[in-house]
Structure 1
Amino acid sequence: MKRTIKHVLYTLFTAIILVSCASNASLQSYFVDNQEASNFISQDLPLSMVKLDQTTFSEEQKEAYNSVNKLNFLGYKANENNAEALKAEIKIIKAILKDSKYKDLMEFNDKGRKISVKYIGTDDEADEVVVFGHAKELGFAIVRVLGDDMSPDKMVTLITALQKANVDENQVQDIMNFFK
Structure 2
Amino acid sequence: MKKHVIRIVGGDYRRTPIPVVDGLGLRPTPDRVRETLYNWLQHLWGGNFADKRVLDLFAGTGALGFEAASRGAAHVQMVENNPQAIAALRALRTKLGANSVRIHAGEAQMVIDRLNATPFDLILLDPPFGQGWLDKLWSQIADALAPQGLLYVESEAPVFPPPEFETLRQGKAGNVHFHLLQFAALQKIDNNR
Using CA pairs under 8 Å that are at least 6 residues apart, name the structure with larger relative contact order, 1 or 2: 1
Q: Which has the larger radius of gyration?
A: 1
Higher helix share: 1
Return the TM-score normalized by structure 2: 0.27
